[in-house]
Structure 1
Amino acid sequence: MIGHQNRDQLEFFICGSLRDLVPDDHVLARVDQVLDLGWLAEDVADLYSAGTGRPGIAPKAAVRLMLAGFLLGIVHDRRLLREAQVNLAIRWFAGYGLHERLPDHSSLTRIRQRWGAERFRRIFERTVQSCVAAGLAKGEVVHVDASLIRANVSWESLAVRHVDAMSDANGDVPEDPEADLQVKHSKKTGRYKKVCVTDPDASMATSGRNRRLEPCYKQHGVVDDLCGVIVEVEVTTGEANEGDHILDRLDTAAATLGGPIKVATADAGYAYAKAFGGLEERKIDAIIPTKAEPIRSKVPLRRFKFDPRHDLVKCPRSKILRPKKAKISHGRFFVTRVHDCAGCNLAALCLSPSRKTRAVVIVHDYPALLRARRRRERWGEKENRLYRRHRWRSEGFHGEAKTWHGPARAVRRGLENMRIQAFLTAAAVNLKRLAAAFLALLLHFLAASRQGKLFSPSSALLRYLKRRVVASIFHPMAQSIGSVP
């Protein structure tokens, strides 16, 4: 016969915990086993008055609410608090009972503004250190990559920057009016460049030449090779160059990991001489494919030989190019003498019609770039395997985050808010990695105990578990392992 369900639910009052109603395999239940925020109240105590005003939201409850939103893909505060009204798992995870009133969504905004991005960075760094203590990250091999995040603005908020004056803000006339005019009329830096009125920190950028420019931020991430733990993350404006940030990100990642990094992989977007030079100084092996040299002349730069010992450049006809006093930000000019090029049989190909001497630009750390090109030609199976892992480790993190945790589009505006979003997203991903590893260890213990191989807390596996995992995180579960039948 057809069953009938009584929807009156008169037996509303029951005795028990909300935890009993949350499935054990729920992501919040699994993350709760590895999340430790006992240090947070002391860390933010200086931001609150000891005896003045009404009690605020508990710091642990606020962070747990934010993390629950990112773990479940509910990244907007209004929607999160609306969902928490009826979602027992979120209520239990944040520590709110059925009879307790949830905070207003604006309270989370004020907490972010009061704490600042650096305190959320410390929350993220704590998850990294927990993963290191659990053996999920070693820092020996890391993968570096960046991804664009669409700003939370409309197309109607874009405006074209208008440049009319030939003088700068101080009224000074530029030394080279013709060059200054070219800069002001450039589509990237001049009068045709679009700027965002509602979110000035967002800048126009694109991920491909066949795609249009959009107001974006750029998220830089460093992922450990062992289990995909995110060891460093930072956000910049969309037009920031990846090569300018790789060294800073690796330095910060090494400080968080507590040890040196041995190998770093990245795509060709990071193949700059300054990046290779900085990696050599840090004794980090670079698995980065070098870019093909752009050929803008019939006699390209690769035909010129740079001698770093004597600081000279030789042209294909063995004429000497000496450094010029005028310097540029990324390198130096080397120029020939007029009489050297006057009788050269390559002058028709090498020189432009308006010049009598040949000038080339040698970028800083150019020898490191040449060494990287030679190493690229000698890549073996090990290097190719690491570069293949880079594609699904680092790019996989950005794909996972954008698909499940919200960074496909910015939630809020401003660089500071974007940094907080990136830190919470990376912390949520790391907690998932930590919870999955702990569950695997626990299942292995249960399987061994059923076979009669493991009963006492002094067994080898239990000692391994206590040694490899942070005691403050796994202490409640580690105590109960010895009593598992």
Structure 2
Amino acid sequence: MTCLNNRKKDCFIFSTIDELVPQDHKVRELEEAIDWNFIYPEARPLYSLFGRPSIDPVILFKMIFINFTFGINSMRRTCKEIEVNLAYRWFLGLSIEDKVPDYSTWSQNYIRRYGESEIFDKIFTRILKEAIAYDFVDLETVFGDGTHRKANANNRKHENRVVEIAKKHYDDELLKEINEDRKSHGKKELKKTEDIELAFDEETGELIEGKGTKSIKVSTTDPESGCFHKGEKQKCFAYTNLTFCDRHGFVLHNTVAPGNLHDSVVFHDAYQKLLETYGESIQNVSLDAGFVTPAICKEVLDGGKVPYFPYKRPMTKKGFFKKHEYVYDEKLDIYICPNIKDLVYTTTNKSGYKEYKSNPKDCETCPLREKCTQSKNHQKVIMRHVWEEYKEEANEIRYTPKWKEIYPLRKETIERVYADCKEKHCLRFTRVRGLKKNQHESLIIFGCHNLGKLARMKKRIMKNASKRGIFLDINKTINKRKRNYNKKVKEKSSNFLKVTTLSTI
């Protein structure tokens, strides 16, 4: 029987750190995936020319990448792991004798330098540009979805607060459409929401709940988070992450918002920022059922993109007629019920819905009334949005072969991105407080995701090239693929312009 309990542990190792780190270790993939020296020119304006020498910014950012790439979820524990892990020391460029930066060093640098800068966006963009240069990113179709991330806040510590109802970006345009529709039907125009006066308490100066206001729960620990409650999920304070990715799972954009905002409300700002960067290359947009609203359908279609949305079940009671069973006549502007009776237009409300009502006398003696309405006045009401035609146009795309090809990829792209980041990169919970800090943290998390995917795809190229006996020059390949990518963008934009001009003709 072998017994190694008395083996001496004070041995000498005559070897370099590079020899001790396995060739297939993940830190080697991360080191070869990108040239980390790009951080120096980005961080140089944040440092002073005077004073004692600072900690290398590349080491600091590599530490945070180790933190989230390997799912450690604590900077204090990350520093302890670096002290004993030779692979982490090799990645940071530290020898065995070098002292590992203290965990408070990163937090102090964030407070004094990085917190108010755009360096997190630049690091995320630089990793994504590297993937685009290698032609790993397919911008033709983008997939979007939202997920909630539990905030670092106590659910019991909150207070009720009256806040002003935020104005939506399309309110002015919608009000114009409503007034035009009401005018065409001989109705009076509605007033602007700005004309509503908010009530204030003279003693405290706070808002009083009424028109233009609402009461919400606000966390006293993290006031910028939002109270999230959906279905059987636990009621908690959380943040919403709205993310877009490509066909291969590379994250293109991420926006963080309070958890009490619906995904469709956050969509506009995130989508516009995505279009500012990649608008010319994007042709198709795939979203889930939560985004199937008239406003979003209009925004996507007016921008010249093709929406690939799923089928959304009618939200009606069981045993009653569905809305599609009432036929809409565009010429007469009426709905026809299953008993072949007319539902005529009555008004257009301030939410943008046109109301069509039946004749109570017809419904009173109708044999199908039990499947139609249970109202006391025996009257059926159907609502139709002023932008309903955009939603109907988006629904018609579901019957095309292209929809069957693109939409099923959602579960393999954006859903997989969220699953990987929650399981591997600590996306389930947040340990920082505030919208800006959570935005920075989410950029690092998705940057880790993109970097890992970039490293694996680069490794695959090198492996295939070595099998064929071809020497691959990385710099030449990057420049060549950049030129090819720019050509593709120009060709796609020119073809898209031709198609749009022909369709308008």
- 1:321/1:346 CA distance change after superposition, 3 Å: farther
The residue aligned with 2:481 is 468
**What is the match of residue 83 of structure 1?**
81
- Distance in 2 of aligned mates of 1:448 and 1:109: 48
Aligned-pair distance for 1:115?
1.8
1:357 Cα deviation (Å)?
8.9
Task: State yes or no: 1:171 paired with 2:201.
Answer: yes
Post-superposition offset of 1:6 = 4.8
Match in the other structure for 2:145: 145
Counterpart residue number, 2:181: none
CA offsets, 1:382-429, max 9 Å, x none?
A: 423422221121111111001111111112222222111110011111
> How much does 1:240 deviate?
1.6
Output the amino acid matched with 1:274.
A
Shift of 1:48: 2.5
The CA distance in 2 between the partners of 1:271 and 1:258, in whole Å, is: 21
Q: Equivalent of 2:345, from 307, 321, 340?
A: 321
Per-residue CA distance 1:206-232 (angstroms, 9 max, x = gap): 45x12332221111111110x211111
Q: 2:309 matched to 1:271?
A: no
* Aligned mates of 1:30, 1:420 — CA distance in 2: 24
| Match of residue 108 from structure 1 | 106
Q: 1:220 aligns with which of 237, 242, 253?
A: 242
Could you report, residue by residue, the CA deviation over 1:135-178 in whole angstroms, capped at 9, with x for unpaired residues? 11021112111111112233443x35278xxx966139xxxxxx
Code of the residue aligned with 1:432 in structure 2: it is: G
1:54 paired residue number: 52
Deviation at 1:345, TM superposition (A): 4.7
The one of 377, 387, 391 aligned to 1:369: 391
- For structure 1, the 5+ residue unaligned runs are 173-178, 471-485
Q: 1:13-412 counterparts in 2 under 5 A?
A: 14=14, 16=16, 18-51=17-50, 53-113=51-111, 114-116=113-115, 118-157=118-157, 159=158, 161=160, 170-171=200-201, 180=210, 190=215, 194-207=217-230, 209-225=231-247, 227-257=248-278, 259-295=280-316, 302=324, 303=326, 305=328, 307=330, 317-318=341-342, 320-321=344-345, 323-324=347-348, 327-328=350-351, 331-334=352-355, 341=359, 345=363, 361-376=383-398, 378-380=399-401, 382-412=402-432
Q: Distance in 2 between matches of 1:408 and 1:342?
A: 53
TM superposition shift of 1:67: 0.8
Letter matched to residue 20 of structure 2: L
Paired with 1:211 and 1:194, the residues of 2 have a C-alpha distance of: 17
Tell me: CA distance 1:363–1:72, structure 2 relative to 1, closer, same or farther (3 Å): same
2:309 and 2:395 in contact (8 A); partners too = no
Please give the TM-score of this superposition, normalised by the length of structure 2: 0.74
- Report the equivalent of 1:478: none
Contact 2:159/2:220 (CA < 8 Å) preserved in 1? no
* Secondary structure of the corresponding residue to residue 106 of structure 1: helix
Task: State the 1:242 CA deviation.
Answer: 1.3
In percent, how many aligned pairs have the same letter?
Answer: 20
Q: Verify the 8 A CA contact 1:305 1:313 in the aligned structure 2.
A: yes
8 Å contact from structure 2 (residues 364, 378) kept in 1: no
Secondary structure at 2:146 match in 1 = strand
- Distance in 2 (alpha carbons) for counterparts of 1:250 and 1:162: 30
Secondary structure, in 3 states, of the residue corresponding to 2:118? Answer: helix
Q: 1: distance between equivalents of 2:279 and 2:388?
A: 31
Matching residue's letter, 1:145:
D
Whether 1:7 and 2:5 are equivalent positions in the alignment is no
**8 Å contact kept, 1:223–1:394:** yes
Counterpart-to-counterpart distance in 1, 2:412 and 2:229: 21
The question of whether the paired residues in 2 share the 8 Å contact of 1:290 and 1:372 is answered with no
Q: What do residues 265-299 of structure 1 show as CA deviations (whole Å, max 9, x unaligned)? A: 22211111111111111222222113223237978
Does the C-alpha gap of structure 1 residues 102 and 306 become closer, same or farther in structure 2, counting only changes over 3 Å?
farther
- Is there any run of 5+ residues in structure 2 with no aligned partner, and where? 163-196, 203-208, 484-505
Matched position secondary structure for 1:38: helix
* Partner AA of 2:120 in structure 1: F
> In the superposition, relative to structure 1, how do residues 356 and 333 fare at CA in structure 2: closer, same or farther (>3 Å)?
farther
Contact 2:308–2:397 (8 Å) recurs in 1? no
* Deviation at residue 434 of structure 1 after TM alignment: 0.9
The answer (yes or no) to whether the contact 2:161–2:217 under 8 Å persists in 1 is: no
| Cα distance in 1, alignment partners of residues 464 and 378 from structure 2 | 76
1:446 to 439, 453, 466: 466
Q: Does the 8 A contact of 1:65 with 1:94 survive in 2?
A: yes
Kept in 1, the 8 Å contact 2:363–2:378? The answer is no
Q: C-alpha displacement at 1:379, in angstroms?
A: 4.3
* Corresponding residue SS for 1:85: helix
Structure 1 residue 34: Cα displacement:
1.6
2-side partners of 1:257 and 1:448: how far apart? 35
Provide the rounded CA distance (Å) in 1 between the counterparts of 2:413 and 2:100: 38
Output the CA distance in 1 between the equivalents of 2:360 and 2:11. 102
| Cα separation, partners in 2 of 1:321 and 1:395, compared to 1, 3 Å | same
Give the whole-Å Cα distance in 2 for the aligned partners of 1:364 and 1:49.
Answer: 57
- What RMSD over aligned residues (CA atoms) do the two structures have, in Å? 3.6
Letter in 2 for 1:43: E
Aligned residues of 2:328 and 2:336 also touching (Cα < 8 A)? yes
Contact 2:294–2:391 under 8 Å retained in 1: yes
CA distance in 1, matches of 2:305, 2:411: 19
Q: CA deviation at 1:241?
A: 1.3
Cα 1:45–1:359 change in 2 (3 A) is farther
Aligned counterparts of 1:327 and 1:315: Cα–Cα separation in 2: 24
Change (3 A) 1:145 1:221: same
> Deviation at 1:95?
2.6
The whole-number CA distance in structure 1 between the counterparts of 2:444 and 2:329 is: 47
* 2:439 paired with 1:415: no
Query: Structure 1 pair 29/70, CA: closer, same or farther in 2 (3 Å)?
Result: same
